[in-house]
A and B are shown apart, each in its own frame.
Chain A
């Protein structure tokens, strides 16, 4: 296996050659005592005694080896968003390391040291928070190591620390002409006291050498097949498991016959677990073939029988009634009654699958010491607790190896730990044997966890002069937070994740009322890259265009006027409009549309150009994107996330939907759950607003504006309005 997992066999043996000394902790949220030696096993889950001098590890995030390699421990999951690069950049910057000497390594599960500072005591990745919550923490970690290397050099060379320079991984003293690498100073540095975090001075942004530069990524091995995903974990004696899941949510196994499935000599066992029937075999294909030979009688007495059309019709009726109040500015009812013109729209959004390229999978080993997991691990604290509860063991006996994730888009951050629990259910039946649970694409698409389906009813009123005087919106759909560890995010019947982006509408409109109704369905639901913004950006940004058209106003000009209190929104909007040549002529049959949206404290505007063919078919030709995410840590990674976010958002805009027919998921694979392909990808150009504000995330915020920008561009050509995703032209 590649140098990745903290506890892989090869990694363990190499770590035994270079033992660790942990002398303290730095950074907000960390509580390790200063100058108190901590046992090495707490660092990266590694074994071995604390041996001074063989390695320099001033805190939980930085290790410097005698070989002059700097290992940065990354507490967030690398799922493509670039966190192995971004967080390492923060350390390298303050350490003044050579970027080439930096290696990134996934952190073990240990919320005491690796918690997400935005999530309190929880360790996990999500909400585009990795850079934002780590900005000070990782810089402080790097700066602390630098101070100690300088102190070591000062001691060794008997010169004042103030005269020592550090540049590109070289510590030097001009007066004496002495210099040393980090590796050469690591042994001495490891014996020195760790300075107080408060005494650590961080660089002024004007001194940055790495932050703001497009350094190459540190999640390497992805162009030669050597990067190790969970799917690639191979352990001695490991079995592969596949599971036959019920055909409908809510169904259970009544009885099963495994006789034919067990005929193959490569099939080891067939067992019943709460989520279905598991086949264990020596390889995937044998397990899959055996699964197809199972005869299972399902108890469907409690199973779902709903249809998508029925749900949409019910939600639409519900949206006409009163909901729970998420925002109430002024008196919207009165404003709409007194308006010169009122327009109304019902928006419909289907369920969506995450459909990460790596179908869900998990390696689990249960033995008398506890449980060990290999997973694209996004939700450490939740997964640890769920597994520990299932097995009746302490949480710290659940060891989590964070592998590269082949995409997630929210899927791997699941309060139910669904596929991990399934893997452990199987592995506990085979104590001492590692079990790799592999879901097929069909399992991945049909076994649940979807972005919920929603209906929005929106009404807007204009006065005689064309001013927007009232905005009323009612959002109906399943609550993502209900029944999860985040249920506290539901206040007075309002699930914040259902209304975000609508309840936060930034436009200067005197009367705004936003309501929501959470409905109950048997469908398991989950956040999906940009969560509530996936639908609220579409309804708000197309409806504002509709109102602009009614009022005879330019979509950019109207937005600029209504955003006069929001300079960062205006900044991205103006930049995108300027770079796109807003207002300039386009070829016949082409149209331009704009959308601007804030999510996760990042601001993104996009201008889409579409061409409409004679038969009504259309193509998204070009997208100009402007983003303000505060200090731009790595512009190329930011551009990549905007490009990817736009492509990701185009799938639900143009083609993706999960539908139900008599309770069964209709879509099963990429032939009927279509996603964007290269021939459908527009030309994307990304512009980053220079900013000195604290950095915010880029994983999700590129997604919300694209669907409304495309719909608005289409409307500019056809004159029709689009209230449904995927767009039916």
Chain B
């Protein structure tokens, strides 16, 4: 069955079953591979995208829950906040293997969109769902603060 999905401002027709997780719709049906598969259980955050501006784990969000919502993925992270966050990530040289970083950035953007000057506790709370096995956490924290300053 075909569904209409709005991803990064573009409508797509998707022929996937309604229970297919949004992650796999993005990756296997729309060929948008920036959003990563890490755990399949909303435990690691690698698959984080925005649904109407809210960060969600796309591995555990069925397609039917995303229909009619505005989906933003790393490929479409173009907001002023997103650009500053990506710049901060580059400047602080956050990524190592990089696999989790799409999810880290999407979580960080969502945090800064609603909280312009997050405390350490705010960062912990917003980012503790995003695992990085390279343990770039110290730089993630620094980059978020750096971005907050620039946005300030």
- Within the complex, the shortest CB–CB distance from A196 to chain B, in Å, comes to 38
Smallest CB gap from B41: residue in A: A669
The reply to whether A671 and B31 contact each other, CB–CB distance below 8 Å, is no
- 14 further A-B contacts with Cβ under 8 Å, apart from A357-B46, A670-B131, are A79-B97, A216-B90, A222-B98, A226-B34, A229-B99, A232-B27, A234-B33, A285-B24, A355-B133, A357-B38, A357-B99, A358-B38, A407-B133, A677-B129
Q: Report chain A residues within 8 Å CB of B131.
A: 357, 670, 675, 677
Q: Report chain A residues within 8 Å CB of B70.
A: none
The reply to whether B39 and A669 contact each other, CB–CB distance below 8 Å, is yes
Selected contact of B97 from candidates A240, A406, A645, CB within 8 Å: A406
Q: Report chain A residues within 8 Å CB of B140.
A: 678
Knowing A225-B35, A684-B138 touch, does A283 contact B24 (C-beta < 8 A)?
yes
The reply to whether B133 and A643 contact each other, CB–CB distance below 8 Å, is no
The reply to whether A225 and B102 contact each other, CB–CB distance below 8 Å, is yes
Selected contact of B105 from candidates A223, A283, A640, CB within 8 Å: A223
Q: Report chain B residues within 8 Å CB of A81.
A: 96
| Complex alpha-carbon distance, A525 and B96, angstroms | 25
- Within the complex, the shortest CB–CB distance from A76 to chain B, in Å, comes to 14
- Give the interface residue-count category, chain A: 35 or more
| Complex alpha-carbon distance, A671 and B129, angstroms | 11
Selected contact of B124 from candidates A282, A675, A676, A679, CB within 8 Å: A679
Q: Report chain B residues within 8 Å CB of A670.
A: 39, 41, 43-44, 131
The reply to whether B24 and A678 contact each other, CB–CB distance below 8 Å, is no
A404 adjacent to chain B (CB < 8 Å) = yes
User: How many of chain B's residues have a CB under 8 angstroms from any CB in A?
Assistant: 57
Smallest CB gap from A685: residue in B: B138
Q: Report chain A residues within 8 Å CB of B98.
A: 80, 219, 221-223, 227, 404, 406
Q: Report chain B residues within 8 Å CB of A406.
A: 36, 97-100
Interface residue ranges of A76-135 to B (CB < 8 Å): 78-82
A372 adjacent to chain B (CB < 8 Å) = no
B75 adjacent to chain A (CB < 8 Å) = yes
B28 adjacent to chain A (CB < 8 Å) = yes
A186 adjacent to chain B (CB < 8 Å) = no
Q: Report chain A residues within 8 Å CB of B127.
A: 678
| Complex alpha-carbon distance, A407 and B135, angstroms | 11
The reply to whether A357 and B36 contact each other, CB–CB distance below 8 Å, is yes
Q: Quick one: CB contact mask for B14-34 with A, threshold 8 Å, 1 for yes?
A: 001000110010011101111
Selected contact of A648 from candidates B94, B100, B134, CB within 8 Å: B134
The reply to whether B86 and A223 contact each other, CB–CB distance below 8 Å, is yes
Q: Quick one: CB contact mask for A156-187 with B, threshold 8 Å, 1 for yes?
A: 00000000000000000000000000000000
Q: Report chain B residues within 8 Å CB of A640.
A: 93, 96, 136, 139
| Complex alpha-carbon distance, A154 and B100, angstroms | 49
The reply to whether B93 and A284 contact each other, CB–CB distance below 8 Å, is no
Smallest CB gap from B102: residue in A: A225
Q: Report chain B residues within 8 Å CB of A684.
A: 138
The reply to whether A441 and B133 contact each other, CB–CB distance below 8 Å, is no
Q: Report chain A residues within 8 Å CB of B94.
A: 223
Selected contact of A225 from candidates B37, B41, B74, B124, CB within 8 Å: B74
